[in-house]
Amino acid sequence: MSTKCLIWFRQDLRIRDNLTLSSSLRRRVAIAPIFILDPAVEIGSCSKYWLFHSLKSLNNSLNNTLQVYHGDTSEIIDEILKENDFSEISWNKMYDDKSKKIEEKVKNIAKKHQLKSYIYNSSLLLEPSKTLKKDGTPYKVFTPFYRQNFLNRKYHTDAQAIDGLELITSSAANNLNSLKDILAPKKDSWMRKFHNIWEPGEDSAHKKLEEFLKIGINDYEEGRNRPDKLNTSRLSPHIHFGEISVNKISSCLNLNNKNHERYFSELVWREFSHNLLHYNPELPKKNLQHKFNNFPWINNKSHLKKWQRGLTGYPIVDAGMRELWETGYMHNRVRMIVGSFLVKNLMIHWKYGLEWFSDTLMDADIANNSASWQWVAGTGADAAPYFRIFNPITQGQKFDPEGLYVRKFIPEISNLPNKYIHFPSDCPTEIIKQSGVILGKTYPFPMVELKYSRERALLAFKNLNKINQSC
DNA sequence: TGAAATGTTGGGGCG
DNA sequence: ACGCCCCAACATTTC
């Protein structure tokens, strides 16, 4: 009888290019795959939907042998090891504080049961410990981080398939559906619509990559900023749950091609975010730049609600927030615009934006999400300076010139002419009437005035610097 | 991976 | 021909 290895799946829900599996195959051990939904690890409402369907897809790939559990990870693994004769355990690492702590506990449980542990990195191109500066400290600026570590390197996948891997069929019935009510309840009408938009799972991730490499990437440099175009990969939820590896994606790119290289650099921004989180466990909670701890945020609940619902009166902001609610996704350019609006024009703390995104984004990822909110707020590493305040009207005109994106998500203003689509308040009464728009009724007036709110934010920032100088 | 204010230049209209 | 003004088109600076 062959050696038995327990494979603990986490955010690596794939069978291709997964080191826990390919190394098991090389060691010729039989594997028992498990997944544990641990309430200690927070997961947003929207990504729950994805997780459930992704697990289903993984279970299919594993010939229906995936066993799932709900509860405290180390306790559950302890139980499993008590009742079975495993001699090995294997998993892929994660980089947020909670997950790292859980890993530590599991390591101890494994030791207690005298198991051999096989622990890998299958989610990052490079381990954070391999990307330190010469002086041994982590990078704080993206460009040198990128140039020193990631360019001039070849990327390849470890193994394409796991044909021949011996799967242990559990004596217990497959229990995947026990998670359905927790993750993707049938009666949830918000989730139901995602079905028409997304197809979670490894195969679909690969299909999507292929499509992107055929079409979208060829004009990526320009098109990536255009929410009205289809130039982005939309792989983010697949990547988040590890349905496709970043090694696989990178191995398909030609880094001498400008469009490819730009896309690659976006993948490395993901690496950068994970590094920031790894070396700053409090990234989701605390300003990386401490001087912002004294910033006079105006955390107005009703303003926050208007932003969340897409009722700010600025079409590009509202379209983005509604795209998020409708589809569980928002175009990257628009994420920056709505972020800037929340943090600067409304002066609401970035943690509220982070919370909302965590709950409603399909690709919600604690590393990317917190690093990016700190970036947009100007409080992070290599961040956009606080005084870089986006003007939602000019951003709209620049990146959605025909208003196609805005019209798609805000149908009530879709009859406005291009000239006024990004700022209905400017529209002459006669024309706005003809378009069937009644400001304040069918579509809100702008909730804040741009010039005023911009100057308010700049003044607060200026005073902050003064306060921090004097103490 | 901004935007607005301010500064500079140069052409055209005009007395 | 000249100075003057206006203003667009850039460039630079500032937040």
The 10s digit of each residue's pLDDT in A260-288 is: 999 999 999 999 999 999 999 999 999 99
Split at pLDDT 50, 70, 90, the class of A422 is: very high
Shortest-distance nucleotide from A393 CA to C1': B3
Spatial distance from the CA of A467 to the C1' of C14 (Å): 20
Average pLDDT over residues A90-119: 98
Task: Give dist(CA A166, CA A292) in Å, integer.
Answer: 54
Average pLDDT over chain A reads 95
Average pLDDT over residues A122-132: 97
Spatial distance from the CA of A398 to the C1' of B11 (Å): 29
Shortest-distance nucleotide from A450 CA to C1': B3
Shortest-distance nucleotide from A457 CA to C1': C15
pLDDT at A471 over 70: no
Tokens at A122, concatenated: 């299958």
**Cβ of A316 less than 7 A from strand B:** no
pLDDT at A2 over 90: no
Spatial distance from the CA of A284 to the C1' of B1 (Å): 22
Spatial distance from the CA of A453 to the C1' of B6 (Å): 22
Split at pLDDT 50, 70, 90, the class of A79 is: very high
Spatial distance from the CA of A394 to the C1' of B10 (Å): 28
Tokens at A234, concatenated: 């939309």
**Cβ of A337 less than 7 A from strand B:** no
Split at pLDDT 50, 70, 90, the class of A174 is: confident
**Cβ of A421 less than 7 A from strand B:** no
The footprint of strand C (CB < 7 Å) covers A 385, 387, 458, 461-462
Contact A437, A302 (CB under 8 A): no
pLDDT at A160 over 70: no
Shortest-distance nucleotide from A382 CA to C1': B1
**Cβ of A456 less than 7 A from strand B:** no
Spatial distance from the CA of A468 to the C1' of C15 (Å): 17
Contact A199, A238 (CB under 8 A): no
Spatial distance from the CA of A386 to the C1' of B5 (Å): 18
pLDDT at A159 over 90: no
pLDDT at residue A187, as a whole number: 87
pLDDT at A203 over 80: yes
Spatial distance from the CA of A278 to the C1' of B1 (Å): 24
**Cβ of A398 less than 7 A from strand B:** yes
Spatial distance from the CA of A394 to the C1' of C3 (Å): 39
pLDDT at residue A139, as a whole number: 96
Shortest-distance nucleotide from A461 CA to C1': C15
pTM of the model: 0.96
Spatial distance from the CA of A391 to the C1' of C7 (Å): 25
Shortest-distance nucleotide from A384 CA to C1': B1
Query: Percent of chain A at pLDDT above 70?
Result: 99
Shortest-distance nucleotide from A462 CA to C1': C15
pLDDT at A163 over 80: yes
Please write the tens of the pLDDT for every residue from A232-261.
999 999 999 999 999 999 999 999 999 999
pLDDT at A173 over 80: no
Give chain C positions with protein CB within 7 A. 15
